[in-house]
Amino acid sequence: NGWRDVLKDLYRRGVQEVLLGVFDGLPGLDDAFREVYPKADVQHCIVHKVRSTFPKIRVQDRNDFIKDLKTIYTAKEHDLSLAAFDTVKAKWGKKYPKEIQSWEDQLSTLLTFYKYPVLIKEAIYTSNPIERMNKEFRKRLRPMNSLTNIDTAEKIVYLETIDYNERFANRVIRGFGDTLVKMKLAELFEKRYGQPNL
């Protein structure tokens, strides 16, 4: 409910046409997102999925298992990715049925990035950029064990956000500066919302 309120507030403040939401697997967040943005795609973070799978695999199998998983999300196209999953499932399905089933259940949202230009694949198949920003917040707050109140913490987060925005305001995420990528994204917006919005 908390995330739904945040998303509804964003919508009210003008963020109304969204192509894609990238999520780390937090339960309920993608459902709340779909409720507010029913036309948007959902991408679950590949990096988080691999990380959550890794500890459940026996040590002697980990390298091979993770290498096989990588064939799924590094395939050249969606159909090849599905074929790679079938190969992984055939090889590991009996030994790790819960883990393979978990991947199969989320496969459609783990592979959403194939709908988008290949040049932005690495920017949209993970939520790591936002994780990096959160890490900066924690790094700034951790040494201050004796914050006097919540207002002080909020002020620090606010100032860190301003600094972060200034540092990254003129940076273009890899791939998004490409003219063909911009055209493809404009085309996706037009199909979904009736007009380009870039």
pLDDT in tens, 109-126: 999 999 999 999 888 887
Q: Which amino acid is at 92?
A: W
> Could you give the percent of the chain with pLDDT greater than 70?
88
Task: Determine, yes or no, domain membership for 61.
Answer: yes
Residue 19 pLDDT greater than 90, yes or no: yes
- Per-residue pLDDT tens over the stretch 79-109: 999 999 999 999 999 999 999 999 999 999 9
Answer yes or no: do 11 and 45 share one domain.
yes
Answer yes or no: do 132 and 112 share one domain.
no
Structure token digits, residue 38 = 């029913």
Sequence-ordered list of residues with C-beta below 8 angstroms from that of 51, at least 6 positions apart, any chain: none
Mean pLDDT of 188-195: 88
Number of residues assigned to the chain? 198
Answer yes or no: do 139 and 176 share one domain.
yes
User: Is the pTM higher than 0.85?
Assistant: no
End residue of a domain, out of 116, 135, 166: 116
The rounded distance, in Å, linking the Cα atoms of 43 and 50 is 14
- Per-residue pLDDT tens over the stretch 179-191: 999 999 999 999 9
Stated as kind and residue range, the H or E segment containing 71 is helix 59-73
Strands 41-44 and 20-23: parallel
Sequence-ordered list of residues with C-beta below 8 angstroms from that of 104, at least 6 positions apart, any chain: 85, 89
Q: Check: CB of residue 109 under 8 Å from CB of residue 30.
A: yes
**According to the model, what pLDDT value does residue 127 have?**
63
Task: Determine, yes or no, domain membership for 122.
Answer: no
- pLDDT band at residue 134, thresholds of 50, 70 and 90? low
Range of the domain at 44: 2-116
The rounded distance, in Å, linking the Cα atoms of 75 and 90 is 17
End residue of a domain, out of 116, 147, 176: 116
Answer yes or no: do 96 and 146 share one domain.
no
The rounded distance, in Å, linking the Cα atoms of 51 and 39 is 29
Task: Tell me how many domains the chain contains.
Answer: 2
End residue of a domain, out of 71, 88, 116: 116
**According to the model, what pLDDT value does residue 77 have?**
95
Sequence-ordered list of residues with C-beta below 8 angstroms from that of 117, at least 6 positions apart, any chain: 175, 178, 180, 181, 184, 185
